[in-house]
Amino acid sequence: MKITPVLLAAGLGTRMKSNTPKILHPVCGQPMLAYALTAARSASTEKPVVVIGHGAGAVRDYLGDAARCVLQDPQLGTGHAVLQAESLLRGVSDLVLVTYADMPLLRPETLTRLVETQQQNPGPATILTVIAPDPRGFGRVVRGADGKVQAIVEEAAAAPEQLSIYELNVGAYCFQSDWLWDALHRIPVSKKGEYYLTDTVELAVRAGLPVQAIVTGDQAEIIGINTRIHLAEAEAAMRQRINAAHMLAGVTFIDPAATYVQAGVTIGRDTVIWPGTYLEGNTTIGEGCQIGPETVVRDSGIGNNCKVFKSVVEEAWVEEDVDMGPYAHLRKGARLCSGVHMGNFGEVKDSTLGPGTKMGHFSYIGNATIGREVNIGAGTITCNYDGVRKNPTEIGDGTFIGSDTMLVAPLKIGKRAQTGAGAVVTKDVPDDTLVVGVPARPIKKTSKE
């Protein structure tokens, strides 16, 4: 059976007061449209159709070939929006799953249940409803004395006794495809000049065809976004959901309300996340780590048993048993091998620190390859930029870089070498050699172990 999702995303989103189309605003790091797509896809069998209008170019660019787009112009309501998919789907799809792209908290499981209910329904439609104390301007679900759904009445058109109905139309529907297209051509125009998708319900009931409803018990699911206040509500609800999933999978959060983990981040068990921590983008954290407080990890991998304390890690790779911070900064292309210790006020960019290397205080390491068990003294700087290009520095295993050494790249320092405090090293240093001074010169061989 072919089940095709249709996502409505043509509306302007005026109340966001934004230059960005509403559905591209991020919630926990991903555009709200991404969640709607994922949920719809998981409950269906065919590539989604997205109805676009305002900001069509940007939305199309974002979607790429994740969906087929149809343009709705002008925008004459949700019924008219769905009708734009008719030429693609009539006679092709068996069921059509319609959702709104501005409801990122709608769960895949709920949509699956909606589809499954419609598969059992001899009638043409199943809708998703919620019982909520605050009607939020939603359409009201009118049921007959027999409890069967009779209609959805929009708030603006509702009679006073209908306004006091607390069963609301969430905005997710599963239709028999063949029936839907004919029904959409028959819905009347509203007082506002729009064609309401919700009017299809009454059309079915009048024709004696049963409309089913399933009720969600999760109030967070129905958060739709019209303003930036709703956006913050959705962010908080999504954060709660993401953090709860990690906690159930064995991660400790000291204060989940103050811990910001974006969708898609993975965290190993027995890791502890302290407050004020942001785990963002394509990030993986291993098992048994201590992360935070006040730490940012973005697009990075951190191995098992690491401690990252009050630090910033961006596009970097950290192996196991690394301990860093406070105030360490890893930038793009930094790699800390296992057992590295990186203390306060260090910055590493486009560089590798080999296993067991220590960099305790106030250093900048850029475009460098540093071997194992190297000691990088306080205040060491790779002078990697000559004003035109970035130059590489290489440091061999077991070398000892004295405090406040300037390493003027391009530069190679051998194994087990040493630099004296304050040395400005402008020439390559052979293995087992001590250099001192400005500019640094060799004075003796270092002792071999």
Annotated catalytic residues are: 361
DSSP string, 82-101: HHTTHHHHTTT-SEEEEEET
Q: Which long-range contacts (CB under 8 A, 24 or more apart) does 185-191 make?
A: 185/83, 187/79, 190/77, 190/154, 190/157, 191/156, 191/157
**Minimum gap (Å) between residue 30 Cβ and ligand UD1:** 17
According to DSSP, residue 188 is labeled: P
82-121 residues in contact with ligand UD1 (CB under 6 A) are 100-102
263's contact among ligand UD1, Ca ion, none, with CB below 5 to 8 A by partner kind, is none
Q: How far is the CB of 381 from Ca ion (least distance, A)?
A: 55
Question: 188 or 439, CB closer to ligand UD1?
Answer: 188
Helices (runs of H) and strands (runs of E) counted in the chain = 9, 42
- Under rule CB under 6 A, which residues in 114-173 are in contact with ligand UD1? 138-139, 152, 154, 168-169, 171
- Could you say whether residue 196 binds ligand UD1 (CB under 6 A)? yes
Q: Which range of residues in 220-228, 361-369, 379-387, 406-414 is near Ca ion by CB under 5 A?
A: 220-228
Cβ nearer to ligand UD1, comparing 63 with 417? 63
Q: Give the SS3 label for residue 152.
A: strand
Restricted to residues 4-23, the positions that interact with ligand UD1 (CB under 6 A) are 8-11
Question: Based on CB atoms, which residue is closest to Ca ion, 224 or 356?
Answer: 224
Please list the residues that pair with 290 across neighbouring strands: 272, 307
Closest CA to 68 of 79, 52, 54: 52
- Write each residue from 50 to 89 as x if it is in contact with ligand UD1 (CB under 6 A), else as -, in one continuous string: -x--------------------x--xxxx-xx--------
36 by DSSP, 3-state: which?
A: helix
The least CB distance from residue 57 to ligand UD1, in Å, is: 16
Helix (H) or strand (E) holding 201: helix 199-206
72 touches, from ligand UD1, Ca ion, none (C-beta below 5 to 8 Å by class): ligand UD1
Of 115-123, 223-231, 374-382, 416-424: span binding Ca ion (CB under 5 A): 223-231
Q: Which stretch binds Ca ion (CB under 5 A): 104-112, 190-198, 221-229, 338-346?
A: 221-229
Beta-ladder partners of 273: 253, 291
- Nearer to ligand UD1 by Cβ, of 69 and 258: the residue is 69
End-to-end CA gap in the chain: 73
Helix axes 32-42, 108-120, angle to 10 degrees: 40
Q: Which is nearer to ligand UD1, 77 or 354 (CB)?
A: 77
Strands (E), 28-107: 30-31, 49-52, 68-71, 95-100
Run of H or E residues at 203: helix 199-206
Contact 367, 393 (CB under 8 A): yes
Judged by beta carbon distances under 5 to 8 A according to partner kind, the member of Ca ion, ligand UD1, none in contact with residue 11 is ligand UD1
169 binds, among Ca ion, ligand UD1, none (CB under 5 to 8 A by kind): ligand UD1
The whole-angstrom separation of Cα 147 and Cα 198 is 18
14: Cα within 13 Å, side-chain hemisphere: 0
> Which segment (195-203, 255-263, 270-278, 404-412) binds ligand UD1 by CB under 6 A?
195-203
How many CB atoms neighbour CB 69 within 10 A? Answer: 16
Q: Which stretch binds Ca ion (CB under 5 A): 41-49, 58-66, 216-224, 246-254?
A: 216-224
Q: Which does 51 bind (CB under 5 to 8 A by kind): ligand UD1, Ca ion, none?
A: ligand UD1
Residues that bind Ca ion (CB under 5 A): 224
Residues that bind ligand UD1 (CB under 6 A): 8-11, 51, 72, 75-78, 80-81, 100-102, 138-139, 152, 154, 168-169, 171, 196-198, 224
